């Protein structure tokens, strides 16, 4: 398995662990994987864009709790169904909904 394949699998494994009604950020996933793989939030975003269709992608948000506008309506519906706390702006309320992934070394 290549380093890229291992990274993709590690990202998707973490995304699968995010509980219903919770979210994490691209940066939190990157931080959890950094010691083993390096990379940052953009690399996680790239994995999600290419490989994340079958995952609960709406549970991975930007650092401000928002998603790209193109994902908005589908994500809003998922947040309602899961009871994900949101702010008046429509972004996820990270103070209430944040889930921190375990680091690869834990």
How many percent of the chain have pLDDT more than 90?
80
| pLDDT confidence of residue 71 | 79
**pLDDT tops 80 at residue 72:** no
| pLDDT confidence of residue 104 | 63
* pTM of the shown model: 0.92
Domains in the chain: ranges and CATH: 3-96 (1.10.10.10)
- pLDDT single digits (tens) 5-49: 999 999 999 999 999 999 999 999 999 999 999 999 999 999 999
More confident residue, 67 or 90: 90
Residue bearing tokens 């690869």: 104
Q: Where residue 105 falls among pLDDT bands split at 50, 70, 90? A: low
Q: Which residues pair with 92 in a beta bridge?
A: 86
Element (H, E) at 60: strand 60-61
Task: Return the ∠ at Cα 74 (arms to 69 and 75), rounded to 5°.
Answer: 70
Residue bearing tokens 């990202």: 11
What tokens does 65 get?
A: 């709790």
Contacts 24+ apart (CB under 8 A), 48-51: 48/11, 48/15, 51/8, 51/11, 51/12
């Amino acid at each position: 398995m290549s380093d890229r394949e291992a990274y993709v699998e590690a990202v998707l494994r973490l995304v699968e662990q995010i509980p219903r009604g919770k979210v994490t950020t691209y940066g939190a996933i990157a931080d959890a994987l950094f010691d083993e793989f390096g990379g940052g939030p953009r690399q996680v975003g790239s994995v999600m864009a290419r490989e994340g269709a079958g995952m609960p992608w709406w549970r991975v948000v930007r650092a401000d709790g928002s998603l790209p506008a193109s994902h908005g309506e589908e994500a809003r519906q998922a947040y309602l169904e899961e009871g994900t706390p949101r702010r008046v702006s429509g972004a996820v309320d990270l103070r209430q909904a944040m889930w921190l992934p375990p680091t690869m070394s834990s």
